A and B are shown apart, each in its own frame.
Chain A
Amino acid sequence: MSDIVLRFADVSRTFRSGDEDVWALDAVGFEVRAGELVAIMGPSGSGKSTLLAIAGGLDLPTSGVVSVEGIDLGGLTATELARLRRDRIGYVFQNLNLVADLTAAENVALPRELAGLSARVARREALAALAEVGIAQLAHRFPDQMSGGQQQRVAIARALIGERRLVLADEPTGALDSRTGEAVLEVLRSRVNGGAAGVLVTHEPRYAGWADRTIFLRDGRLIDTTGPRVPVEHLLGGAS
């Protein structure tokens, strides 16, 4: 269907370790549609981060097909892949990767300027993105003048600036307190509700609860997904 934004078809990724191949991902298949947030859970080493890197075109599968909005990432040149990443995919990493010498607004505007927008337009978009994550007033601060939670919001604003069709988040709540963590999820969720597709890697059930469904990975294999939603009136049956 046309509203599928991210598709993994039989995707495997192996790494060479000494004399043997280690399967980081093993025949993984799933789809994420526009307006859908999918959480990925699994123990350490189950392939979550590899899956996210491949979804974002930062790594390529050993076999299988990954497509974003119908475009097979394996068929793109390095330049085309870079453009697709820059224009359509937003990343929120554990490691914030903020540039220390740039203000919050400049950090957020950076990818748009790299995409060829004028500094003025990029700045206007950056201010809007900072407002979306609730820290418009911190636009002139440098990263070391902000708390961890505020820096994380800057990173999210940068990931979401422009029209990102696919938002990928790797433990975006990191070490944030629960209130700030929820604020982060609120931003992700509202962007997804606005039509983006989202993938959220987390080990916190509390945050995975914000996703429409959860995919469970184990040893590189997709072993389960949560079922569809049930009507609200059935939720509390048996609680009396």
Chain B
Amino acid sequence: MDLSYYPGCTLKTAAKGLEDSAITSMNALGIRLVEIERWNCCGTVYSLAEDDLAHHLAPVRNLIRVKEQGSDRVVTLCSFCYHTLKRANLLVRNDGEKRKTLNDFMEEEVDYNGEVEVLHLLEVLRDEVGWEAITEKVKVPLQGLKVAPYYGCTLLRPQDVAIDEVERPTILHQMMKSLGAEAVDFPYATECCGSFQIVGNPDFINQRAWEILSSAIRCGAEAIVLTCPLCHFNLSQRQPELVKRYSDFQGMPVFYFTQLLAIALGIDPEVCHFELSYGDPFSLLKSRKVVS
């Protein structure tokens, strides 16, 4: 089965490990992710102002690309892209006046009325592939790996874009179990890492990251699994700073959900680009004898 796929900017650079591991894993599960042509940046954040329509153009234009290419569904891997595309799509569907203004402004484009369905890859794994089918394809069960699912914000809030229960999501937990790992609950699973504040207020975000990672460690996790490239940056790539700053913090491996999927499906770890993560998350899998 083919599925239209919108990558977004960061998946081509810092989050290459998220993209490559997802595409390869989905191939192994019988779904080909077909990158849409002429996509542009989604704008990363959804405009929350009633009088700001200009910032909805970027995500809507991507949805028009999907429609033009004859598809009625698009899947995203990045949580921010999912959020922005999904909300812009709902706005076009639900607000006739704004829909008309947007379409009138983009007169060179085909009219868009919200025909495309926006999905996150986790939804595809749960609803189209199914956890049991994934378990059947697992070649390297992640036996004994204690991993804390970290959901972040943009897949869960607000309610109308949530891919799971807003306050008590289990989708990543279920995925980890389907791969043979143990999912560890911790109180920060749905709390924000501080997001883009890493640019303007990095000190506060260091504190957030340290609190989140330390809480997961206290709850018995040996690694974090997450979906969002910005959470990954704040919680993984920034760890050298945390290790310097907090004497009790020794570092903690952070995985994208698709990296663990690829490993469990027996795919060459090269697609995971672990060199883009802090430390060496792969060495944890070796030390737990998950991989040789």
- Decide whether A and B are members of one complex: no
